[in-house]
Amino acid sequence: MSPPDTSRADSARPLNGAGEALLTVRGLKKYFPIRGGILNRAVKRVHAVDDVDLEVMRGETLGVVGESGCGKSTTARLLMELIEPDEGELIFDGCKVGSRELPLKEYRRQVQMVFQDSYSSLNPRLTIEDSIAFGAQVHGTPKREALARTHDLLARVGLDPARFAGRYPHELSGGQRQRVNIARALALRPRVIILDEAVSALDKSVEAQVLNLLTDLKAEFGLTYVFISHDLNVVRFVSDRVLVMYLGKVVELGEAERVYTHPQHPYTAALLSSMPSMDPDHRTEEPPLAGDPPNPIDPPTGCRFHTRCPSIRPFCATREPPLADVERDHAVACHARVPASGYHDDAAAVPDPEKITA
């Protein structure tokens, strides 16, 4: 008996009743070959992103969390089409990316990205203004106009163009550089911005400033964010919905507050309980995640989390749980949350979701 394949159907329909999907991803897959041996052939493959379906709603901030190496950056790079997916398709605003209605170059005008390392994401040989104006010039804006817009954008992200436009990246602080990167992402007037750990390298006070800037810009330009971070507090602060990844798979996806207060997947629960809490009363006894995540080269069979899951059934090791709705706007990939999975047939040890949350 195999579980019904509900994952496609479920995530194809908007989870968030409020909005409509701006960017839809179906069956996204990326395996990185690991070369070796005498003929330099691909001997093994890293399952970096494995059959991911997701939707980014118009105007929302979708937070993406997960342990290091779970495939967050790879997902971001796939969304940007910076790397070729092995499988899967992107649909932006109803058009398939790379099709005649939406060629790649046009898509890239609509979706931009801000990288984690503010230094290495700026060309050290170009002045700030040249870096920002580059994209617009590529799309045919005359240099004069592109520079004029660059100066407006610099002012908008809080950098005085008179002081900063002619400077080189090494002459700026990390926070200032990240503002420059944000200005560059805005220069093409995109509708979606993917922020891959965009504030993670900044210290706390600067991080707060940049987050506030991002919030303001979102309202002003009507942006949609995909916000990737390992900092669960920050993700909770900025996100409307949260997507939890584990070893290249989506394990939980739902409205942010709901996921944080009532996590349905044992991985999410463990992740949240390992989160440092400011309030000593809220420190939990919940065991944090044991050990390192398994190697993505040979991911565990069945449910990928079964090797670290506190409450497994024998079939968890063989059967892969589909991502299925457990409540409105809240999907989870865990047998324990699907009544028909057979998980509850064999007696005891049903973990109480409220208890996992603690």
Partner 1 sequence: MVDATQTATAPLDPVAAPVRSEGYWRSVWRRLRRDKVAMTAGGVLLFILSLAVFAPWIAPQDPLHGTMLMRLRPIGTEGHILGTDELGRDMLSRLIWGGRLSLLMGVTPVIFAFFIGSAIGITAGYAGGIVNTLIMRTVDVFYAFPSVLLAVALSGALGAGLGNALLSLTVVFIPPIARVAESVTTRLRSSDFIEAARASGASALTIVRVHVLGNVLGPIFVYATSLIAVSMILASGLSFLGLGVRPPNPEWGLMLNTLRTAIYVQPWVAALPGMMIFAVSISFNLLSDGLRSAMEVRA
Q: Based on the shown chain and the rule CB under 5 A, indicate whether residue 181 belongs to the binding site for Mg ion.
A: no
Q: Based on the shown chain and the rule CB under 6 A, indicate whether residue 249 belongs to the binding site for ligand ATP.
A: no
Nearer CB in complex with ligand ATP: 14/69: 69
Q: Based on the shown chain and the rule CB under 8 A, indicate whether residue 164 belongs to the binding site for partner 1.
A: yes
Nearer CB in complex with Mg ion: 266/299: 299
Could you say which of 24, 73, 118, 224 contacts Mg ion (CB under 5 A)? 73
Question: 49 — phi, psi (to 5°)?
Answer: -130, 125
CA distance 127 to 258: 44
Query: Least distance (Å) from ligand ATP to the CB of residue 253?
Result: 16
Q: Based on the shown chain and the rule CB under 6 A, indicate whether residue 194 belongs to the binding site for ligand ATP.
A: no
Non-local (6+) Cβ contacts of 206 within 8 A are: 173, 174, 175
Q: Based on the shown chain and the rule CB under 6 A, indicate whether residue 69 belongs to the binding site for ligand ATP.
A: yes
CA distance 178 to 213: 11
Half-sphere exposure of 273 (CA within 13 A, CB side): 22
Contact 328, 335 (CB under 8 A): no
Query: Least distance (Å) from partner 1 to the CB of residue 171?
Result: 6
Q: Based on the shown chain and the rule CB under 5 A, indicate whether residue 75 belongs to the binding site for Mg ion.
A: no
Residues 59-78 binding partner 1 (CB under 8 A) are 77
**Tokens coding 356:** 């996992």
Nearest CA to 79 out of 34, 26, 132 is that of 26
x-or-dash string of contact with partner 1, 137-156, rule CB under 8 A? -xx---xx--xx--x-----
CA distance 101 to 46: 33
Contact 114, 213 (CB under 8 A): no
Instruction: Return the one option of partner 1, Mg ion, ligand ATP, none that residue 100 interacts with (CB less than 5 to 8 A, by type).
Output: none
Residues 216-235 binding ligand ATP (CB under 6 A) are 230
CA distance 336 to 355: 14
Q: Based on the shown chain and the rule CB under 6 A, indicate whether residue 48 belongs to the binding site for ligand ATP.
A: yes
Nearer CB in complex with ligand ATP: 230/262: 230
User: Site for partner 1 (CB under 8 A): how many residues?
Assistant: 45
- Name the β-bridge partners of 243: 64, 253
Which residues of the chain form contacts with Mg ion (CB under 5 A)? 73
